[in-house]
Each structure stands twice: as C-alpha cells, then as structure tokens.
Amino acid sequence: MQKHPHRYESLTDEGSSRCSRKSTLKGFDIDFYNGSNDELISHIIKASDSSFSYIVTPNINHVVRLEDDNELRRAYASASHRVCDSQVLKGLLKVMHIHVREVIPGSNLTEELMSIAEAKKWRVTIMGSDASEIRTMRQLYPNVAFFHHNPPMGFIDRPAEIQACLDFVVDHPAQLVVLAVGCPRQEILGRLIHADGRAQGVGLCVGASINFLSGKVKRAPKWMQRMSLEWLHRICMEPRRLAKRYASDAIRIIPIVFRQFR
C-alpha cells in the first residue's frame, strides 16, 4: 500500500552540503540515511521516472568489505542513499553514540515497493535471480511488467558482460531496477549504470530479496527479525554458504569498531 508522501531531500556525497545535517549520520565512514521509511518511499516514487540513481543497504558484511574493496567504496560514494539494513549494525552504531532513526531492511523495502509497483502498473527490471523466481514474481504481481537479465558467473570482471547489463537496462526502461547479484557486484553494477548516464529509474541493491519474495528462500519469522536474530535463521537455512562468512565478519568487525573510538 502506498505511503503518504513526505518532504524529502535527495542525499549524495556531492550534494550533502545542501541537506540538513540530520539527513545523514556518519559511522564507519558511511553516510547513513537518517530519514524514515515513508520519506524514502516517497523519494523513490518521485525519482522513479528520472535519471538512474541507486540505493545501497549496508550491513555488517558490507562494513567489513569496505575496509579493502576500493570498487565497493566508489559504489557507496555514488549511491543516492545508504540505508541501514541491519539491527546488529544499528546496535554497533548506537554503541558509538550514532543513533540511526530506523532500520530499513532491503527485503522489506523491496516488498513494499513491489506492492506499489503492482498498484501503479510499473515496469521492473530484475538483474539476477533465475527464471523460476521470475515466473513466481509475475504470478504474485500480475500488473507489473517484468524484464529479466541474469548475467553469468564472473560477469563483473568481463567488460562485454557488463556492457550487456548496461544495454539491457537502457533497452528496457523501468521505474525500478532490482540488482540482485550479490555484494559487491550489485553495488558496482549500480555505479556503472549510473555513470553510463543512459538509464532511468531507481536501482535497489538488495541481494536475496527476490529469493525471499518468490519463496525460494524462507525468511526469518517476524519475532526473530525483531530480536536481531535474522542472521541465525539464515545460517540455519544456508549453513554451507553463510556460516563461514558470518564467523569471519564477526571476527573482522571487532577491530573496526574499536578503531572508531580513536
């Protein structure tokens, strides 16, 4: 259901001097969006037919990756919004006396925007996901015109495959462009689409959101989400893929947090 619009100022590194100081809060060298979910939705609706911009959704893994991934840092710097996706990350920011207004999980944001897309009969491009998930999405949202491109493994290191992605987004204009090819590929691709300058719409770098919406992967129950235990549910659902990564992130984030107090 569409939210009531609110006044909103677009937030970018380049334009931050024109925004209220309270519009973003800096932590871990990330300018976090500090508005409400309603304000963000309102902005996305207004920007949906404008030149391409994109939203990134930082979590603990992103903070760790940003330490030594220059391409991801460039992608973060060019994003229109950096929206806190994680209750755990919000808790760490609170320890640092940085109080982000609210957590807006990428999966929740995607679900709400898909309902808006259905009501408004939008066009939606999805990068990533498999054909069965797209079939399910078409059944769930029959009024949405879906365009789908699933680049091959390793595409981000192949100029021809990147060009194919850029051309697909340009050739299939859409209000929403869901970039679901995993971090840091989706963020880097968002920056490249933005830099290319030909596309329109709002890009969402939202990882597994289509997996959840289509039912391919079961999301954590609401009570686990409220208790910041969604990470535990995901490990139980995908132990081979996520257990090692989460353990590594938990170890690597500790010195990063301590460094913030120097």
Residue-wise pLDDT tens digits, 40-73: 999 999 999 999 999 999 999 999 999 999 999 9
pLDDT higher than threshold 80 for residue 193: yes
- Using 50, 70 and 90 to split pLDDT, how confident is the model at 24? confident
Residue 79: which region, alpha, beta or left (left: phi > 0; alpha: psi -120 to 50)? beta
Work out the average pLDDT over 190-196.
Answer: 99
Q: Where are the domains of the chain?
A: 16-214, 222-259
Work out the average pLDDT over 83-107.
Answer: 95
Specify the CATH number of the domain 16-214: 3.40.50
Confirm whether pTM is higher than 0.85: yes
The count of other CB atoms within 10 Å of the CB of residue 235 is 17
Q: What is the pLDDT of residue 22?
A: 59
pLDDT higher than threshold 50 for residue 163: yes
Q: Report pLDDT digits (tens) over 109-134.
A: 999 999 999 999 999 999 999 999 99
Percent of the chain with pLDDT over 70: 92
Q: What is the pLDDT of residue 17?
A: 35
pLDDT higher than threshold 80 for residue 3: no
CA–CA distance, 25 with 48 (Å, rounded to integer): 25
Among the ranges given (3-12, 132-141, 217-226), the one the predictor scored with the smallest mean pLDDT: 3-12
Percent of the chain with pLDDT over 90: 78
